[in-house]
Amino acid sequence: MTNPQENVEKLKALCHQWGGSLFGVADLYSFKKEEILLPPSLIDRLPYAISVGFHLSDAILEEIQNQPTPLYFHHYQRINILLDTIGLIMTSTIQDLGYQAVPIAASQIVDWKTQKAHHRTVE
């Protein structure tokens, strides 16, 4: 196995190779378990999170007035598919390095009543 910093750099390069615009790693111990929306037992076994993002088209976003447009809806769906693909590839790579990993869907709602999801927006 390589050292942790080499692993991070390898995953970051993989993210960009597959089209990701943003890449980050977080230590989940710095968050309250109830804020993470994952089973506490999973957080105990997998204490780090990797976040991958994609820069949405500015031109498409500028066209949104009162509600999402059909063009935005399609764009958003395609980006979620790309992010899910990157997540699966990174999960496989992490496992190949000898670690455990769980991919989280790009826009998975985990609580329909409160509309909580794993999805995050960065501006």
Percent of the chain with pLDDT over 90: 61
| Residue found by looking up tokens 């993210």 in the block | 15
Q: Indicate the domain borders of the chain.
A: 4-117
At 5-63, the pLDDT tens digits run 999 999 999 999 999 999 999 888 887 777 777 788 888 888 898 999 999 999 999 99
**pTM, 2 dp:** 0.84
Indicate if the pLDDT at residue 114 is higher than 80. Answer: no
Alpha-carbon span 80 to 95, nearest angstrom: 22
More confident residue, 94 or 44: 94
Taking alpha carbons only, the member of 80, 77, 93, 75 closest to residue 15 is 93
CB-facing half-sphere around the CA of 91: CA atoms within 13 A? 12
Per-residue confidence (pLDDT) for residue 116, from 0 to 100: 62
Report how far residue 75's alpha carbon sits from residue 60's, in angstroms, rounded to the nearest whole number.
8
pLDDT at 100: 93
Identify the CA nearest to 52 among candidates 73, 29, 25. 25
